Copies of this chain bind each other. A is one copy, B any other.
Amino acid sequence: RTLRIGLIPGDGIGREVIPAGRRILEALPSSLGLNFSFVDLDAGFDCFKNTGVALPDKTLDTLRKECDGALFGAVSSPTTPTKGYSSPIVALRKRLDLYANVRPVKSVKPTAAYPDPIDLVIVRENTQDVYVKEERTYELEDGTIVAEAIKRIDSKASSRIARMAGEIALKRRAIRETSGDNIGKQTMVTISHKSNVMSQTDGLFRSCARAALEEKRFVDGGIKIDEQIIDSMFYKLGRNPSPYDVIVAPNLYGDLLSDDAAALVGSLGLIPSANVGDGFAIGEPCHGSAPDIEGRGIANPIATLRSVALMLQFLDQEDAALAIEKAVDSQLLEGRFSTPDMGGNATTNEVVEDVLKRL
């Protein structure tokens, strides 16, 4: 089978890590029976500066009509307010209805701060909340400027993301059982929200998520339903992240939680994500465009390689996904080559080569 993959490097180190993603796909063992074709696509702040559009129609069209999946690098955020610019990744998620943003966070080795293994996944709703970007500004009589944004949550999106979280919890348990790793871990979905303040919006998220997870399939699967108010979620994650399994969250909390959890395992350069819709997935490293290290060839490619695996998983290519994950884990465990974000001095290329050898 041939899968056609859109490559959208975006800005900054996006251009250095997306090629690594392509390389690992090309290097997959032929025994898997998979072939890949690629199409380069434009988007990002540089694209905006050059063309006046951050997400060209051509990119969207090609993804829709030709592609089975895609890899997205990173986008720079303007450092000063820039009229007409709007984040292309946020637009992509909405326009392609990639309703779930799946972000696994896993520790490689125990550390002094966290002696127990961290192995959790954040399942972030990807289309609603304050990300609907409906804002308005007005002026009061006394000259005060007021700006308002809508935070929108609906029952459909909340139920669907919770169901996705439930499916992921079941799958993770099955993998633990097959691999024998971390076998005692409680299969659990933690619903995070702030319904003590936003009783209607976060209250709706909470009740829909709960109802979805109370479906027979999940109850029979032994999923424990847990709940945390989002402020206390940050506290508990920082104190002891190891009991957490799957965390489901509205869009904004999911954004913040994933950066937070990344710090617990050492580097954002390790954290992958997939933007998932029905039958389509875009792999995307969680890190940004990192202007401070751009062009130096030292960006950590691990997040992208893992994002490739995640994308494949959601395109139902489990074996290929597993092959990449294993190669990455073994590379990290040996720890011979690591990029500066992890305290090493290897280049992007050295890390990629080292992973490819293990495929």
Contacts and interface: CB of A to CB of B under 8 A. Distances in A.
A214 interface: no
A201 B148 contact: yes
Given A135-B198, A197-B90, A259-B231, A155 B151 contact: no
Interface in A312-358: none
A234 interface: yes
Given A151-B148, A197-B90, A234 B259 contact: yes
30 contacts: A81-B207, A87-B197, A112-B113, A130-B198, A133-B197, A133-B198, A137-B200, A137-B204, A145-B154, A145-B155, A145-B204, A146-B153, A147-B204, A148-B150, A148-B152, A149-B151, A149-B200, A149-B201, A150-B150, A151-B151, A194-B252, A231-B255, A231-B258, A232-B288, A234-B256, A235-B259, A236-B263, A237-B263, A238-B263, A256-B256
A149 B153 CA distance: 9
B201 A147 contact: yes
Nearest to A45: B196
B256 A87 contact: no
Taking the full assembly, how many copies of this chain does it contain? 2
Contacts of A198: 130, 133, 135, 149
Contacts of A153: 146-148
A212 B288 CA distance: 29
A64 to B, nearest CB: 24
A168 interface: no
A230 interface: yes
A151 to B, nearest CB: 4
Interface string A59-81: 00000000000000000011001
Nearest to A153: B147
Nearest to A234: B260
A275 to B, nearest CB: 15
Contacts of A204: 137, 145, 147
Interface string A219-256: 00000000001111011111100000000000010011
A336 to B, nearest CB: 23
Contacts of A154: 140, 144-147
Nearest to A156: B144
A230 B201 contact: no
Given A147-B203, A194-B252, 10 more contacts: A86-B199, A135-B201, A137-B200, A137-B204, A140-B154, A151-B151, A232-B288, A238-B238, A256-B256, A260-B260
A262 to B, nearest CB: 6
A136 interface: yes
Contacts of A236: 263
A264 interface: yes
Contacts of A131: 197
Interface string A151-182: 11111100000000000000000000000000
B81 A203 contact: yes
Contacts of A264: 238
A259 to B, nearest CB: 4
A198 B252 CA distance: 11
